Amino acid sequence: MPRDVSQLIDHLRRSGGDTTDVEVKSAAGGLPASLTATLSALANQPGGGTVILGLDEQAGFRPVRLPDPQVLKQGLAAKARAFTPPVRLTIDDAEVDGTAVIVAQVHECDRSAKPCRVAATGTAYLRGYDGDYALSDLDEQGFLAARQPPLFDRSPVEDATIDDLDAELVDAYLSAVRDRDPLGLGRFPDDDELLRRAGVTRDGGQPTVAGILALGVHPQQWFPRYVIQAAAQRLPTDSAATRARNQVVISGPIPRMLDAALLWARRTFDTAIVAEPDGSVHDRPSYPLVAFRELVANALVHRDLDHWSAGLAVEVRLLRDRLIVANPGGLYGITVDRLGRDAVTSARNARLVAICQHVRSPETGARVIEALASGIPTVTESLADQGLPPAHYIDSGIRFTVVLHQHATAPPGPAERTTAETSLGITERRVHQALTQNGKTVRELSEELALSAPSIRKALRGLRDRGLATQSGGRGRITLYQRKEFPAGPGGPR
């Protein structure tokens, strides 16, 4: 049976565009060529996804009459066989506003066979929150590595010794273990034996990857990209030469990086002065710090540690309308739809998680993690308390991204939009809002909106066709795109 199509369409109309697990095609002229990339990307995505044929996204997901639904379904089934391994589909008929549509459930490819490739070209695709992307060589290594259970955190660190562990952090760790687990791990009176049995060290006192990352003096001596790379988007008043604000690379062991990330957030997030009902006045950051801390802690502890991801950092990007936290490595042992709903704890890096349960912040003495499946509910509650939309979680299988929005992402209601604005997709609206009369380049728009250059160019073509953007430059000069305003009423753009 297909998913509840009416609820699905309502969600798409509220969000103003496709989601990471749903792709809509009008298919009025037959199966579109772009469907090939979409089927591969959804098959590679945890949980798969859904393709709906017979809806026009540009017209607010209104149904279009399909010329021959049976031919389209046969074409879908044939296209699914053109992949290695073949894409598994469940195809159903449904109705939207009284018009027939086709709903195809794309099942996730078996982990042992990923990535799912286009047989004719060998290309595999990955789903992002702004489109489908061909896998890079590094992405492909991530899928191949995911076929095996992750045990990299147990490996010894070459040339590291017990002296490369932070004495302050180790002392606090030993004290916490003996206080919290006195009859288990804490029953070993010898410090060296306790550290070895905890997986912090191996025989002879050589630290493990988990031990160095959690308790090392400077883990980046061996893992230079196991860092947090944070930056804020430049302001409209900044010069064109300004690429970013408050850009930092945060290094150190996990508890010190977490403290430094919170310090960066306090300095970087906008702050409002808020009066409470009891008459007290407080500073309130644009995003709740407790949610930020949980997301960064999860990214540090659950990031992929295998060789393929050694050159990738945890990324934190603060844009004007949203905050993005991303780490290499997808979810492990749990799916996005279960996050925060089930009291399930699952760890890609089981040894690192077990150690970090007893690691304390050197600044505050707070735990790094609880490992009680309480982090996501904490994020959800803190966002709701501040009147912010729920977090958006995106699992591509080899990358996990969380997006916090400053405001609701639904587009304006019909009464608030002109005819020209109603016809825009969500990406076109975002690009139009980011444009200025002085003009911006594709690269500037891509960095500002965190969208790919192809997605930006596609949106700009649509805006130019509607008379909502102009282009200048070219032929040896920088190409700029300028904004034209929506019409106030009949008569076209001003």
Cα Rg, the chain, nearest whole Å: 25
Identity (one letter) of the amino acid at 418?
Answer: T
Q: Which two tokens stand for residue 226?
A: 């196991």
Share of the chain above pLDDT 90, in %: 42
Section 380-395 average pLDDT: 89
Separation between Cα atoms, residue 483 and residue 440, nearest integer Å: 9
Cis before 2? omega within 30: no
CA separation for the pair 252, 227 (Å, rounded): 8
Q: By C-alpha distance, which of 400, 339, 401, 328 is closest to 145?
A: 328
| pLDDT for the residue 1 | 36
CA 244 vs CA 101, 317, 482: distances in Å: 45, 10, 21
What is the structure's pLDDT at 438?
A: 76
Per-residue pLDDT of 49-94, as tens digits, reads 899 999 888 777 888 889 889 999 999 999 999 999 999 999 999 8
Express each pLDDT in 221-230 by its tens digit.
999 999 999 9
pLDDT for res 60: 78
- Range with the poorest average pLDDT among 291-300, 347-356, 393-402, 472-481: 472-481
Q: How many CA within 13 A on the CB side of residue 115?
A: 29
Please check the confidence at residue 2 and state whether its pLDDT lies above 50: no
Considering only 183-197, 408-422, 478-492, which range has the smallest mean pLDDT? 408-422
What pLDDT is recorded for position 415?
Answer: 44
Mean pLDDT of the chain: 85
List, for residues 236-267, the tens digit of each pLDDT value: 777 777 777 889 999 999 999 999 999 999 99
Q: How many CB atoms lie within 10 A of CB 290?
A: 16
Taking residues 316-342, what's their average pLDDT?
Answer: 83
User: Got the DSSP string for 127-159?
Assistant: EETTEEEEPPHHHHHHHHHTTS---GGGSBPTT
Average pLDDT of the segment spanning 277-294: 87
Cβ atoms of residues 265 and 292 within 8 Å: yes
What's the whole-number mean pLDDT along residues 182-188?
95
**For residues 300 and 225, what is the distance between their CA atoms, to the nearest angstrom?**
12
CB atoms within 10 A of CB 10: 12
Does position 342 have pLDDT exceeding 90, yes or no? Answer: no
CB-based burial of residue 442 (10 Å sphere; 0-12 exposed, 13-18 middle, 19+ buried)?
Answer: middle
For residues 414 and 411, give the distance between their C-alpha atoms in angstroms, rounded to a whole number. Answer: 9
**Which residue's structure tokens are 């050159």?**
311
Its pTM stands at 0.65
